[in-house]
Amino acid sequence: AKKLLADSAYTGQFAVLMSQLDRVVFECPSRPPDQRGFVVEAKRWVVERSFAWMNFFRRIIKDYERTIENSVGFILMANIQMVISSLAADGP
């Protein structure tokens, strides 16, 4: 099963739909209900960081593509570029 991390905005109907899938484990990190103010939520930074990194790719943040397949392709290419860049930065 694959784990899907999401923001608290996706806890409604989307979470219900994801719970019906067998191959997906849906996780939405949230702060404890008794805490007030700013609380660092476990794994939320992973989701936020991923969205922030996508802002560096203009082709992704502007909806230029006519099909979903093209959009998915550009997201994959952006992720490949980010991984290669991080590998190059960690180089010998």
Q: 36 in a domain, yes or no? A: no
What are the two backbone dihedrals, phi and then psi, of residue 25, each rounded to the nearest 5 degrees?
-105, 115
Q: 92: pLDDT confidence band, cut at 50, 70 and 90?
A: low
Q: 38 in a domain, yes or no? A: no
Q: 35 in a domain, yes or no? A: no
* Residues spanned by the domain of 61: 44-90
Q: What's residue 57's pLDDT? A: 85
Q: Do residues 55 and 85 both lie within one domain?
A: yes
Report how many domains make up the chain: 2
| pLDDT single digits (tens) 45-90 | 777 787 888 888 887 877 778 888 988 898 899 889 988 988 887 7
* Interaxial angle between packed helices 68-89 and 44-54, expressed in degrees from 0 to 180 and rounded to the nearest 10: 100
Handedness of CA 16, 17, 18, 22 (dihedral sign): positive
Q: Do residues 76 and 52 both lie within one domain?
A: yes
Q: 67 in a domain, yes or no? A: yes
Q: Do residues 23 and 49 both lie within one domain?
A: no
